[in-house]
Structure 1
Amino acid sequence: MITVATWITILRILITIPVVVSLEMNQHILGLILILVAGFTDFLDGWIARRFNQVSDLGKFLDQIADKILINAVLIELAVSGILWPWLVVIIVGRDTLISGLRMFAASRQEVIAANIWGKAKTVSQFAMVLLALITGTAPLLMASLQVLVLFLTVWSGYVYFKDSLAIWRG
């Protein structure tokens, strides 16, 4: 049975479509509002799952997928529209795909690769970059500086996760 919390997660996945369409139509404020709504559903589904004992493997899986679908779609759209450096988005999506694969491999061995401070800093910097891009458009110096910071945190956090997972690989 699909729980209320899982339906809310599915809604977050579906919100990605109007987010991308609004960004494509240069309706950045609408896109930002929809992203904030999606962020609220991310909080809400977790709260409902815990509060009403609806935590499920499907819900946990879809929650991670929903986050990746939304952020990657937004990053790709901002790169296509010329606001973000396309090669940076390729690095971000590639890193996230690699880390997701490492986490799945670890889970297959009953291990957990937990979030760390560098991964959290990467997420915050990406959110700030998207927020700035949607509010200001292309503020060149500020966007370039923030993209360099995001690049550093993306690569460094990926390295830290990979290094920390070596013990799992060695088995």
Structure 2
Amino acid sequence: MADSVADRDQLILVAQTGDPAAIARLLALCQTDARRYAHKHCHASDVDDAVQESLLVVSRKVQSLRAAAAFSSWLFAVIQRECRKLSRSLFRHEPLTDDIAEAQMLDRTDGALRIDLAHALESLPAHYLQVVLLRDFEELTIAEIAQRLSEPPGAVKSRLHRARELVREYLLGADAPAKS
């Protein structure tokens, strides 16, 4: 393990010199951690954008990093900032009325809607997916889910609500017209 940390620190030092190959290797090396961290701090639909923007910031500003040992915490701070930025931009848009949302859903074929729903469910973090599957597919009550997960019913209700909102956001985003 010490060798891998030393190798990573050496790669960071070389990337700080502006070496394009070292920067590319560093970005490839930290992409998995960046994605995992973004999944914990971003809306499911924002993970890819947050990771991409964060890695772009890293590639541009790695030269200004003072110590290689600080790289991981710096990377996580950059990702967290990008997640907050994307979250704020999410709320700048006018929310869709239920009528408009329903009309968008009705415009899709059943097959396309099934595929989009499957993709939406796959995009959910595991703890959200779990409650959706237990409630909507296994048809358990909130009390049964709470008992199975050893969590308070209020926490289960909150998680289920958030999971459904993420699915709705994904489904409506998949059909949203492009803005020019």
Same structural fold, with TM-score higher than 0.5 when normalized by the shorter chain: no
Question: Which has more radius of gyration?
Answer: 2
TM-score by length of 2: 0.28
Bigger RCO of structures 1 and 2 (CA < 8 A, at least 6 apart): 1
